[in-house]
Amino acid sequence: MKRTVARLADGRGILYFDSRDDAVRRLDDPRDLPAVSTESVLRWDAAVEEWVVVAGHRQGRTFQPPADQCPLCPSTPERPTEVPSDDYEVVVFENRFPSLSMDASLPDHPGVVLAEPSAVRPGTGRCEVVCFTPDHDASFASLAPQQVRTVMEAWIDRTLELRTLPGVVQVFPFENRGAEIGVTLAHPHGQIYAYPFVPPRTERLLAAERRHVEQTGRHLSDDILAAERADGRRIVAENDAWTAFVPAAARWPFEVHLYPRRRMPDLPALTDDEREAFGPIYVEVLRRLHRGGARQALRARSREASRFVEGMARSRGLDTAGFRGVSPALQARAAARWAAANDALAREAWNAPWTSRVPTDAPPPVNEVAALPPVPANEAGMRAVMDDACARFGITLRRGWAARLHGIMDASATAASTAMQHARAFLPGEGAP
Ligand SMILES: [Zn+2]
């Protein structure tokens, strides 16, 4: 393992972790960067007795840049990024827009209602970014176990260093993935927060563990793991050093906890064998979550589209009893064009962009559809439904195929479903003549 330390143009630290000892990384950063702004404060929320980090300066941070402007990809001669090297395995650097910083100080006007001096503190701590692949389109689940081992070594290195910073009481490596949870950069990356307070969930975990030891003489985490392994129903994956299971009181549709078999205080306490055994099981769990998540998203979109078509058909007085829905495969492709197609339609119909009338990515407006005047003749009605559905879901029928599609539809709503299945053939690049 090779560890290379350098500084970025604005003075932030950057560390490369390489599995090969002969890896050479570029150390100088040619960019001209302004100094990092650190206006973070901690405010005490007296209502629930929790610290809250308020970091107003982060509003200007890079938000969802296009792939060719990605600040986490390796640098090229034309475009320097946050990572000066032209390649990397794992690289960790201080966040340019940190929520917590060792340079944080109290603002002149702390702006809290409670006048107690303890109600506001500087947002002291550290926020680091962990890039674990130079591949913009990869994910943690796509890493080889050996790459995960390098990430693990980076986490351990950072834990050992960050916990020595004055005032830091918890070091927390994590990965947020997906725009749904607020990720602002698509390039796969994790973060490490060095907190100046114990976050609420950790505090409760520790308190529960302490109480359990007092009452039983045993450790709670040992007992939970033993109970899950004895029961076995919720075990997702296991190897000699780790057990992955769905907790009995899971809070999320997909939630898996990964416990080391041996109780330990922190990541640096993992043995060599335990570090080695982590990659295969973590990646296995992530891959299974991805498959589950993708299936669920497809099902949801499919239901959404089915409701839409059904609502349209019903609003036109058609029999929807036999309607079986739109296939997920068709939906997956159609949904990708959803926004663009809506925008084109909106410009045509309203002479204004879609977003000017529809505030969010709302699901198909079934109510609006239901208000359409009913078409009495079933054949004509189904044809209109089909046309509307194709337009809504961004399906472009190639010339000549629209007539053939209408031709295979009969007067029942079941045909709409069949027709939508057939519409797959009309998606560009798929089976069309
Ligand atoms: Zn990237």
Same domain assignment for residues 155 and 64: yes
Residue 94 φ then ψ, to 5°: -70, 140
Q: Cβ distance 201 to 232 under 8 Å? A: no
Token match 């129903």: residue? 233
What is the distance between the alpha carbons of residues 82 and 62, in angstroms, rounded to a whole number?
Answer: 12
CATH value at residue 28:
3.30.428.10
**Residue 75 CA to ligand 1 centre (angstroms):** 10
Q: Cβ distance 162 to 127 under 8 Å? A: no
Active site residue 422: no
Taking only the tens place, the pLDDT of each residue in 72-125 is 999 999 999 999 999 999 999 999 988 899 888 877 765 665 656 568 888 999
Same domain assignment for residues 84 and 106: yes
Same domain assignment for residues 223 and 353: no
Residue 68 lies in a domain: yes
**Residue 167 CA to ligand 1 centre (angstroms):** 33
**Residue 183 CA to ligand 1 centre (angstroms):** 13
DSSP 325-341: ---HHHHHHHHHTHHHH
**The predicted structure's pLDDT at residue 370:** 32
Domain range holding 74? 2-197
Same domain assignment for residues 221 and 84: no
Q: To which H or E segment does residue 3 belong?
A: strand 2-7
Q: Which residue is catalytic, options 136, 187, 189, 257?
A: 189
Residue 282 lies in a domain: no
Per-residue pLDDT of the chain (433 residues; tens, 9 = 90+): 999 999 999 999 999 999 999 999 998 999 998 888 777 889 888 888 899 998 876 666 666 778 788 999 999 999 999 999 999 999 999 999 888 998 888 777 656 656 565 688 889 999 999 999 999 988 898 899 899 999 999 999 999 999 999 999 999 999 988 777 778 888 999 999 999 999 999 999 999 999 999 999 999 999 999 999 999 999 999 999 999 999 999 888 788 999 999 999 999 999 999 999 999 999 988 888 877 666 665 566 556 666 666 666 666 555 555 555 554 444 444 444 444 555 665 566 566 665 565 443 333 333 233 333 333 344 455 566 666 666 665 555 544 445 444 444 332 334 444 444 444 433 333 332 2
**Residue 141 CA to ligand 1 centre (angstroms):** 16
Name the H helices within 272-337. 272-315, 328-336
Same domain assignment for residues 35 and 71: yes
Residue 279 lies in a domain: no
Structure tokens at 163: 């916990």
Cα-Cα-Cα-Cα torsion 427, 429, 430, 433, nearest 10 degrees, comes to 100
DSSP annotation of 99 reads S
What is the distance between the alpha carbons of residues 234 and 225, in angstroms, rounded to a whole number?
Answer: 11
Residues 6+ apart with CB under 8 A from 128: 92, 93, 94, 95, 158, 162, 191, 192, 194
Q: How far is CA 247 from CA 62, 205, 213, 225, 274, in A?
A: 36, 14, 21, 10, 22
**The predicted structure's pLDDT at residue 288:** 82
What is the distance between the alpha carbons of residues 320 and 311, in angstroms, rounded to a whole number?
Answer: 9
Residue 276 lies in a domain: no
Instruction: Return the HEC string of 12-76.
Output: CEEEEEECCCCCCCCCCCCCCCCCCCCCCEEEEECCCCEEEEECHHHHHCCCCCCHHHCCCCECC
Angle at Cα 191 formed by Cα 169 and Cα 100, nearest 5°? 50
**Residue 133 CA to ligand 1 centre (angstroms):** 9
**Residue 85 CA to ligand 1 centre (angstroms):** 13
**Residue 99 CA to ligand 1 centre (angstroms):** 22
Domain boundary among 197, 220, 255: 197
**The predicted structure's pLDDT at residue 137:** 85
Domain boundary among 197, 231, 262: 197
Residue 265 lies in a domain: yes
Same domain assignment for residues 236 and 171: no
Same domain assignment for residues 323 and 264: no
**The predicted structure's pLDDT at residue 346:** 59
Count how many domains the chain has. Answer: 3
Same domain assignment for residues 189 and 232: no
Q: Cβ distance 247 to 255 under 8 Å? A: yes
Domain boundary among 226, 246, 270: 270
Q: How far is CA 51 from CA 197, 201, 389, 391, in A?
A: 8, 12, 49, 49
Same domain assignment for residues 182 and 133: yes
**Residue 73 CA to ligand 1 centre (angstroms):** 4
End-to-end CA distance of the chain: 55
**The predicted structure's pLDDT at residue 433:** 27
In 10 A of CB 80, how many CB atoms? 18
Same domain assignment for residues 84 and 149: yes
Q: Cβ distance 23 to 89 under 8 Å? A: yes
What is the distance between the alpha carbons of residues 277 and 51, in angstroms, rounded to a whole number?
Answer: 36
Residue 171 lies in a domain: yes
**Residue 139 CA to ligand 1 centre (angstroms):** 11
Cα-Cα-Cα-Cα torsion 367, 372, 374, 377, nearest 10 degrees, comes to -110
Same domain assignment for residues 53 and 82: yes
Residue 348 lies in a domain: yes
Same domain assignment for residues 215 and 156: no
**Residue 68 CA to ligand 1 centre (angstroms):** 8
**Residue 134 CA to ligand 1 centre (angstroms):** 7
Residue 416 lies in a domain: yes
Residues 6+ apart with CB under 8 A from 293: 254
**Residue 144 CA to ligand 1 centre (angstroms):** 19
**Residue 125 CA to ligand 1 centre (angstroms):** 26
